[in-house]
Each structure stands twice: as C-alpha cells, then as structure tokens.
A and B are shown apart, each in its own frame.
Chain A
Amino acid sequence: MYSEIVLAGFGGQGVLLIGKLMAYAGMKAGHEVTWLPSYGPEMRGGTCNCTVVLSDKPIGSPISKRPHALIVLNLPSLDKFEDTVRPGGIIVVNTSLINRLPRRTDLTVVPVPANEIALELGNARAANMVALGAFIAASGLVDRANVGEVLKESFAARPKLVAINEEALRRGFEIGQAHTTAVAAG
C-alpha cells in the first residue's frame, strides 16, 4: 500500500486536523506515515493544505505533486488541485461551499454537503469531520475504528466535542460508503 492524499480548504476549516487524524490512524494501523502542512504566510483565511502519505514501506518524499486522493473543502482548493490527482484516484468535494463538481471523468467523485450536515448536528466546525468520514469510507485507506480512537485522544481535553465529531464522522462515512472504491496504488 502506498497512497498520497492532499487535503485543502480555507485556513480555519480544519484540514490540518483531519490530516493529522488520518496520519495518527495510519500509524495505529502500523503504517509508515508523514503529515506535511503548507506553512506559507497565507495560513489563516487563505488556502491551507496538508499532505498525508500512508505506506507499508519507509516514505521517501513527503511532498505530493500527483496525489492519489484529494479532499477539498472550498472552491479555490478544487481549482488548484483537481488536475493533479492521478487517474483512477478519488476526490471528496464539499458541495456546501463548492458550486461545481470536478471536470475530471477518470476519478471517483464523492460529493458531500459537509457544512450542511455539520450545521444540522449543531456545530458548523465539524464539517471537516464529515468530509473525513466520507473519505475513509470511500477509500478504505484508514480504519474507521482507529480514526474513532484517535479522535477521542485528540479531543481528550474537550470531551464535550467528542460526541458531535463522532456523529459527523459517521454521517460522512454513510455518504462515502455509496462511493466505495479502491484508491491505493503501488
């Protein structure tokens, strides 16, 4: 297994956090993992992205110019990264904030109204977790139980937030299940 995943959105949408959860979960499953944030001066309010690599072997480059999978929470991120995804890959699109679907026809597209679902659950900030849930169901790359565990650990200081994030993850997971695909390459 070797997979490069790019996660992108506005600063503050929590793409770095869901990237970290994915990396933690991969580590728990015994994989080699890297998590690399973009750290330019644009962090808050601008586009913000991170790259996660999951592999069975030691990881070379932590940078991905041709990812196997993409999670985008806003339109500038879809515009920027759509063309970079490898054929046969997967894109999770936050349709709450993105008013178009990917133009690519050689990919699995998972549309998720992440903000709407998060608002329904009572906390707009959980939209990232909805997108993560959809991704792990559609890609099968990370184990849902592991993600659930690392979520609890990450929110240990704020236990009130665990339930809503778990619920957001579950709702996303259900949507993602309808788009199950094999994204792992190499």
Chain B
Amino acid sequence: MAKKLMKGCEAIGEAAIHAGCRLFFGYPITPQNEIPEYMSARLPQVGGMFVQAESEVAASNMLYGASGAGCRVFTSSSSPGISLMMEGVSYMAGAELPVVIVNIMRGGPGLGGILPSQSDYFQATKGGGHGDYRVLVLAPSTVQEAADLVIDAFDLADKYRNPVMVVGDGLIGQMMEPVEFKKTIKPEELAEKPWATTGCAGRERNVINSLYLDPEQLEKHNWDLYAKYQSMAAEVRHEDYNTEGGCDVLIVAYGTVARIAKTAIDQAREKGLKIGLFRPITLYPYPAEALAKAALGAKAVLVAELSTGQMVEDVRAIVAGRRPVAFHGRVGGMVMGPDDLVAEAEKLVAVPA
C-alpha cells in the first residue's frame, strides 16, 4: 500500500478501522477533534457507528456496554475529557473489558490550555481512576508509529481483556507525516469472545460486572488482576538510539520530546559530545531492565518531559542511584528545543558526578 500524507489524528482514526473497530463513542475536545471528525465520516462508510455522546462520562459507559457485548470499541479525547472518562475506565478495568483510549494530551491542570503536554503520565501509568488497576500505555513518537500502535492496542486490549491507552500530544495529533497501514483486519475475522454478553441461548449466562460485595471474592479479584498486570511485562517495548558503546549522557524521553532529543543528538555530535536516547514505547509496563542497562552505559542520565517531572520518578527508581539523574521539563504548552537539551547535557558532563 502506498504511503499517504496524513495528520496524526486522522491516521489514528484510520488505524482503528484497519484494526477491525467499527464503533466510536466520544465527545469533542481540542486538540484531537480530527479523530472524531474522521471517524464520523469514515465509520458509516464501512458499516460502523459513530456516536457523539452527551458527555465524556456517558461515552465511557457506552464503551463499557459495547465492549461487554464483545465489540472492538474505541474513543479519543484530550486531558480534561480523559479525566471525565475515568469512571468508565475504572469500571472497564474492574470488569476486564478491552477498549482502546487515545489521549492527545494538553496542558493542565483543570482546563489548562490546548497546546502539547505530557503531564498525564501519572494518570495514564498509575491507574487514573479509583481502585487498584493498571492500563497498558503506548506512546508513539511519529505518525507512522501512532498508526501501528493503535492497531496493536486493539490486539493487546483483547489479549489481556484490559483497557489500553495510547498517549500522544498535540504535535503528534496535528502533524502530517507519510503513513501506511500495515495490516487490515475485518471485524468478522476477529476471534470470538466467549466471555461476552452476546445472548445466552444454549449456553451459560455471562455476567459483566465490577461489583464484588464479598471481601474475600474482591480480594481474590484484585490479586487476579494484579497477576494479569504483572504478566503484561512481556509487552515492554523501547528504542535505543545512539547508545552503542555507551554515551556521555543518556536522555530518557518519549513521544514528541524523544524526536527533539534525536535532533539534539545530531547537534551534540558536532560538538564532540555523545548523547544517547532511551525512548520507552510502552510507558506501562515500563521497559525497566532495558533502561537500567542503557543508563549504566552512560555517565549521567537526563530525563526530558513536557511536565514538571513525572516519568523522572520511575527513571530514578529504576536507576536507583547508580547514575546521577537530572531533569529538564517545559510545561503549559511550551516545548524545549534541541539546543536546550544539548545545553542541559553539557552541564551534566561539566560537573563531576
């Protein structure tokens, strides 16, 4: 299939269709409106259904219902809207329902602004709603990768019967890059979901529920979920860039910031400074072992995020004092430039560890 030049948001929508998803429930919010706009045009063309709900809370409960009925379902929103959906996400985690949620993050807290941000890292990777749960979190850094990961997200959601979140920022959503869709799954080709509520004629009744009033049962349910989240460790993904043979400074960054880091690496090379990049692609589960290995190959670690410091807490826990870990963050929709990252890296090598 020939490459097309597409906006990240449109590519995300098209990828969901290629994944065999035919249902979208959502509510508009900038900067991801191109996703529902695209789905509202495309889904009817392929026999699907687009519903603009009356609110994000309603949309998330529609996802719960449709997923419970065994369908591949999808929504997208941006930070404040994702917060509103958290009721449904927690219930879907509790009822073990697969769903794909895209968060095109914007600056917060509250309504914040509409410009790029990575300040929902905690919300995405530590649960987000109430209760003891996790969702798989994928962080693309190109439009192509956004398309690939959205398709994978549907498979992962079904595999683990769990919500999967794809986090990008306004840059990934608004940017155009060439993209191709590497596979096309027809809904009728999808594996049956024997647990779904599809009508129980001739079989035992299936129940989709997150209510466990018996504490012993609920404790067992929680430990079962915990074991499932532990088993997701098999899905870790990351990219090493310019780290072969070690480096002076290892930048740890994801999404858009990782791209800025790659440009910084080229600039630093001209100055004789070797910067490497560790880019987590799964933010939950976090590629901890690979990060530890890359960090030990560097003299110092620099975590760069569009937040006041969220992922850096995980990085510090993994590096565990074996290397100095510095942080550089921009917030409010401001984005660091490659020069800023080179300057921060230079500071780290100038000061003896």
Contacts and interface: CB of A to CB of B under 8 A. Distances in A.
Interface stretch (B69-77, B84-92, B257-265, B287-295): B257-265
Contact of B174 (A23, A24, A37): A37
Contact of B176 (A35, A41, A58, A60): A35
A61 B176 contact: no
Contact of A59 (B5, B114, B259, B261): B259
A2 B30 CA distance: 31
B109 interface: no
Contacts of A41: 114
Contacts of B31: 39
Interface residues of B, number: 26
A36 B175 contact: yes
B338 A34 contact: no
Nearest to A36: B175
9 contacts: A24-B5, A33-B177, A36-B176, A37-B174, A39-B114, A40-B115, A61-B263, A62-B256, A63-B335
Contact of B261 (A33, A36, A39, A60): A60
A60 B3 contact: no
B174 A34 contact: no
A63 B177 contact: no
B269 to A, nearest CB: 12
Q: Which of B174, B177, B256 has the most CB of A within 10 A?
A: B177
A17 to B, nearest CB: 12
Contacts of A60: 259-266, 338
Contacts of A40: 114-115
A61 B260 contact: yes
A58 B260 CA distance: 12
Interface residues of A, number: 20
A44 interface: no
B170 interface: yes
A27 interface: yes
A139 B115 CA distance: 32
A65 interface: yes
A171 interface: no
A20 interface: yes
Given A40-B115, A61-B260, A20 B5 contact: yes
Interface in A45-84: 58-63, 65
Contacts of B114: 39-41
Contacts of B339: 65
B175 A35 contact: yes
B1 to A, nearest CB: 14
Contacts of B177: 33-35, 59, 62
Nearest to A51: B175
B178 interface: yes
B68 to A, nearest CB: 36
A60 B338 CA distance: 9
Given A24-B5, A36-B175, A65 B263 contact: no
Contacts of B99: none
A24 B5 CA distance: 7
A64 B335 CA distance: 11
B337 interface: yes
B190 to A, nearest CB: 33
B171 A63 contact: yes
Nearest to B262: A60
Given A20-B5, A60-B338, A33 B178 contact: yes
Contact of B260 (A32, A36, A63): A63
Contacts of B178: 27, 32-33
B262 A34 contact: no
A31 to B, nearest CB: 9
A62 B338 CA distance: 11
A33 B3 CA distance: 12
Contacts of A20: 5, 176
Nearest to B258: A60
Interface string B247-274: 0000000001001111111100000000
Interface in A1-27: 20, 23-24, 27
Contact of B262 (A24, A32, A61): A61
B228 to A, nearest CB: 36
